[in-house]
Structure 1
Amino acid sequence: MIGRIRPLPHPDPFVEATRGYITRVGDALQERGTPLSKVWLDPSHPRDATFVLGLQALVWNESEGFVLGEYISGEPGVRTVLRDPVRLGGGVLPDPRAVPALLEGGVAAGPPVPLRPFTAGHDGFEDRLARYSYGENRSFD
């Protein structure tokens, strides 16, 4: 679909592994009419991504899942700063199509807390994330 806001490729392969998932979340948000002005992949440790939604931003990271708050600052390569961040729930890797409903449902899950350590090895997260990666048989258009 022409005109969608999508994250640019990231030079770090470890961070780039999140782009397929983040792209699908961004597409789902835009399909539901969420005003998305920017989206980017952020630094590692933990890997995260930012979706700028006007005065607010939705930030995903591999430890806390989705967090919503007032957008203070951030840009590609610089960690995003939110005022009054609240975790949306849904775990660390909810189905991308479920994220708009989490956003619309409000912020009942409480303050951000780690749900999984980003250093957790062999916990199945990378395999679940890889299902959303760009591949020769997958299209995001």
Structure 2
Amino acid sequence: MAVRHVEPYTDEWLRQPFSYVERVVEQLGAEVADWWEGPCDPRDVTLRLSDDGALVWDEESGWRLGRFVSGGLGEHSELAGVRYLCGGLLPRPERVPEALADARAGVGASSAWRPCYRSHRHCRDGFDLALDYYAGTVTA
């Protein structure tokens, strides 16, 4: 496999999560009313849901669900009543809708406890290769 390292804090690095998030948005369909990127440290993305809720993904803790309080492009979103979705830091996009349904129902492995799978400060830990998979930039 050809390994391509993206230099941290470049525009390309900041956009790395978008291909993954776009696939999640496709899986959620009409449930997503809007989505935008947050800042880095850690990189995050907010999905506003059609029911006044929001899903936020960040590169340390994965997906969390809550009632949208505030946020916007380039800002960390604030949520109330947060529950973290099961499935780890980067669950396959087709698994996110089921994890979302579980979190809404309060069942499964979703939790109010914030997991920390990695630190955003570890820029060369291999996580960016997992993001590149969704962008189709990792070749065999």
Give the counterpart of 1:42 among 12, 28, 38.
38
2:95 maps to 98
Contact kept in structure 2, 1:85 and 1:112, CA below 8 Å: no
Preserved CA contact (<8 Å) 2:85 2:110? yes
- The answer to whether the 8 A contact 2:16-2:132 is kept is yes
TM-score by structure 2 length? 0.80
Partner SS, residue 78 of structure 1: coil
| Secondary structure at 2:76 match in 1 | strand
Q: CA RMSD in A?
A: 1.7
User: What's the CA shift for 1:78?
Assistant: 1.0
Within 2, Cα distance between the matches of 1:15 and 1:97?
23
Partner residue of 1:7?
A: none
* Superposed displacement of residue 134, structure 1: 6.0
Other-structure match for 1:8: none
Corresponding residue number in structure 2 for 1:64? 61
1:75 counterpart SS class: coil
Cα offset for 1:121?
3.6
2-structure distance, mates of 1:76, 1:134: 25
* More helix per residue: 2
Structure label with greater radius of gyration: 2
Q: How do 1:1-141 residues align onto structure 2 when only pairs under 5 Å count?
A: 12-30=11-29, 34-53=30-49, 54-106=51-103, 107=106, 108-110=109-111, 111-133=113-135
- Higher RCO (CA 8 Å, separation ≥ 6 residues): 2
More displaced stretch, 35-44 vs 121-130? 121-130
* Ranges in structure 1 where 5+ consecutive residues have no aligned partner: 1-10, 136-141
Task: Verify the 8 A CA contact 1:15 1:41 in the aligned structure 2.
Answer: no
